[in-house]
Chain A
Amino acid sequence: MSEDAVREDAGVVSDDLRREIEAFYRTEILLLQGHRYRQWLELMDESIKYRVPVTTSTVNGLVAADDALGYYDEDLELLKARVAKLESKQSWVEQPTSRLRYFIQLLDLVHQPDGTIAASSNLLLYQHRWNLDQSFTGERNDVLMPIPGGFRLRSRLVVLDRQAFTEQGLSVFF
């Protein structure tokens, strides 16, 4: 048994796999920054759970409860509805189109018993709009499903670091 295989058994991913996953995220960043949301949807698994919950301030800091409302709380049908809306010429929130800059820092990759990979990362997103600039930071927890030649996103949970965190309207994906 090679050393890599031993490490995989312990849940740690090989360097090759890490490079493939990094490539997946680079592709995703290019699609998001380019507002190419139709193609971005193609990265989603049929059973995608895409969640960005609201947080509550408690004595223990910001908490995102499992059953909290979402800023985003989507399955594939709802994600498609959002993309259809953003594609409309009457989607005023993105007129003019905002400039987006995603900085994704991979932190940890772990093999899951079901063959998927849990990927956690830090997210920093800078948005310039016609009437304001704002940035978002948070932690992202993804589950990636390997497919021939790449991956599909099975689930995403993003917990943002601010509470009353956005101005005007929110038109970006995390």
Chain B
Amino acid sequence: MGERAKHAELAGLQPPPVPPDARIGSFRSGELVNADASAVDRRLFVDEELYRLEQERIFAKCWLFVGHESQLEANGSFLTTTMAEDPVLVVRDKAGKLRGYLNSCTHRGTKICRADSGRSSTFKCPYHGWTFNSEGALMSVPRLGQVYGENFDRSKHSLREVAKIDSIHGLIFATWDPAAPTLREYLGEMTFYLDLMLARMEGGTELLGGLHKWTIGVNWKIPAENFAGDHYHVPVTHGAGVEMGYRSQLSNDGYCIHTGNGHSIGSERGGAQQGHAVQTEYKGFMDNMRAQLVAKYGEKAAAFVPVGVGTIFPNLSFMDTARFRTFRVWHPRGVDKIEIHSCLIVDRALPEDLKREVRKRYSLAFGPSGIFEQDDGDVWQSIQDSMRGRIGRQGWLNYEMGVGREGPTVDRYGPPFVGSTSDILMTEANQRAYYRQWAKLMTEGDR
């Protein structure tokens, strides 16, 4: 392929360069993110105005992960979570349709549901007793005629419903934006890698055993960009994992793939979390899946089982390893705090006792007490701590690693592997793509 054609193809895979003079609220875009996002201003992580704009331009617009279909098997089942800071109630209604609502009574705003999950066909507000059904309609109002008279229109007081809700391989997403593209358009070429990761076995996937929930005093973008492509931190932050035999020393052989719209994956060749300690039969299962993929697409396809670690813009990350597969949301709770909801997603067709072993391997390594994840939290919190001061918020963070090393993935791995990739594992290409997408959405409101 000629240089020019290559350039055009790559450009199609990349969010546009950041224009220097677009507005982001009271900021000029160029003072926050440089053209290729190899420099990002520290204020992105501590500024209250930017955080408020993110709620409007990112979280109220993007598709956000709200749960897994296996949590809502029966009609009338529900779960509660949040979309950014907004509490939501996700239900499977009487007809079996997935729906999402703001978990807030239309009378005075009280949460109508306090439990994490359960089954109920009605939700009664604990303040004045307005009661809603799983279709979001206001079913009953205490003393309706007596206190509101004859003309009160209950149909005008349904729960606020998300604009769109859809699922892919059991993962449920919702958006508040009626003008949002379809979920599959939003995910774009990431869909291909989700297919690889979540459709390995007949019967689909399930979320096993509930959620790990914990908090970290950090801006939500720090963990999101970490999962997007920070392989550079692994040998240091997680050096203990090598010492105790859980994983081999990280090599620089692997890929960091960006698939458009800020979505990314990356993996060391052979998958993250290689090593001899605490293995299970899952490894054999993954070896088998790898052999099947190689038979289909050739030797190079071996690199894609497991798929690795990644982020779906803005705040859903995952990690598909030789031992387990986790998905997690970094819910923003103010500019300097997140609440993490992390879960284990297994293939339903796995034998039950193997699922149990995989569950143990996941919580050994990830979640708040995980021997890998337990070391990330303090690092991230200390980033926030050191940037909140008058001087700490000044200047740029550096994202230059691996600039200019990207090319179409198909050139390295052959068809059907999509997106743009680098020829080394340790690059910040995916973080740059992430912040270019951030700038694209953040500048849109002020055009």
A71/B245 in contact, CB under 8 A: no
Contact residues of B between 238 and 259, Cβ < 8 Å to A: 238-241, 243-246
B191 at interface, CB cutoff 8 A:
no
Which of A67, A90, A169 is most buried by chain B, counting CB atoms within 10 A of its CB? A169
> Please, how many angstroms separate the alpha-carbon atoms of A130 and B385 in the complex?
13
Residues in B with CB closer than 8 Å to A168 are 214, 216-217, 377-378, 380-381
Q: Can you list, as one digit per residue, whether each of A18-62 has a CB less than 8 Å from chain B (1) or not (0)? A: 000000000000000000000000000000000000101111000
B354 at interface, CB cutoff 8 A:
no
B215/A164 in contact, CB under 8 A: yes
A56/B116 in contact, CB under 8 A: yes
B109 at interface, CB cutoff 8 A:
no
What is the distance, in angstroms, from A54's C-beta to the closest C-beta of chain B? 5
What is the distance, in angstroms, from B156's C-beta to the closest C-beta of chain A? 29
> Please, how many angstroms separate the alpha-carbon atoms of A67 and B246 in the complex?
25
A10 at interface, CB cutoff 8 A:
no
What is the distance, in angstroms, from B31's C-beta to the closest C-beta of chain A? 31
By beta carbon, the residue of chain A nearest B243 is A88
What is the distance, in angstroms, from B242's C-beta to the closest C-beta of chain A? 8
A167 at interface, CB cutoff 8 A:
yes
Given contacts A54-B211, A68-B210, A69-B209, contact A82 B371 (CB under 8 A): yes
B371/A85 in contact, CB under 8 A: yes
By beta carbon, the residue of chain B nearest A62 is B116
Q: Can you list, as one digit per residue, whether each of A86-101 has a CB less than 8 Å from chain B (1) or not (0)? A: 0111111100000000
> Please, how many angstroms separate the alpha-carbon atoms of A58 and B374 in the complex?
28
Residues in B with CB closer than 8 Å to A72 are 363, 369
Residues in A with CB closer than 8 Å to B245 are 84
A69/B244 in contact, CB under 8 A: no
**Which residue of A57, A65, A69, A92 is within 8 Å of B367 (Cβ)?**
A69
B288 at interface, CB cutoff 8 A:
no
Q: Can you list, as one digit per residue, whether each of B2-25 has a CB less than 8 Å from chain A (1) or not (0)? A: 000000000000000000000000
Given contacts A56-B117, A73-B360, A169-B368, contact A91 B373 (CB under 8 A): no
Residues in B with CB closer than 8 Å to A89 are 240, 243
Given contacts A81-B246, A85-B244, A131-B385, contact A92 B375 (CB under 8 A): yes
B215/A74 in contact, CB under 8 A: no
What is the distance, in angstroms, from B297's C-beta to the closest C-beta of chain A? 34
A122 at interface, CB cutoff 8 A:
no
> Please, how many angstroms separate the alpha-carbon atoms of A142 and B49 in the complex?
51
B116/A69 in contact, CB under 8 A: no
B115 at interface, CB cutoff 8 A:
yes
Q: Can you list, as one digit per residue, whether each of B46-87 has a CB less than 8 Å from chain A (1) or not (0)? A: 000000000000000000000000000000000000000000
Given contacts A78-B360, A131-B382, contact A90 B374 (CB under 8 A): no
> Please, how many angstroms separate the alpha-carbon atoms of A111 and B209 in the complex?
32
Which of A54, A71, A72 is most buried by chain B, counting CB atoms within 10 A of its CB? A54
**Which residue of B118, B359, B376 is within 8 Å of A73 (Cβ)?**
B359
B377/A167 in contact, CB under 8 A: yes
**Which residue of A69, A85, A164, A169 is within 8 Å of B246 (Cβ)?**
A85
Residues in A with CB closer than 8 Å to B208 are 67, 69
B244/A67 in contact, CB under 8 A: no
A78/B368 in contact, CB under 8 A: no
Known: A58-B116, A59-B115, A84-B245. 10 other contacts (CB 8 A): A54-B209, A56-B116, A71-B212, A72-B363, A78-B364, A81-B278, A131-B378, A166-B215, A168-B216, A169-B377
> Could you pull out 18 A-B pairs where Cβ atoms are within 8 angstroms?
A59-B115, A65-B209, A71-B368, A71-B369, A75-B360, A81-B364, A81-B371, A82-B364, A93-B374, A93-B377, A129-B378, A163-B213, A164-B213, A165-B214, A168-B216, A169-B374, A169-B378, A170-B374
List residues of B whose CB falls within 8 A of some A CB: 114-118, 208-217, 236-241, 243-246, 277-278, 339, 343-344, 356, 359-360, 362-364, 367-369, 371, 373-382, 385
Closest 7 CB pairs of A and B: A168-B377, A90-B239, A169-B374, A88-B240, A69-B209, A84-B244, A164-B213
List residues of A whose CB falls within 8 A of some B CB: 54, 56-59, 65, 67-75, 77-78, 81-82, 84-85, 87-93, 129-131, 163-171
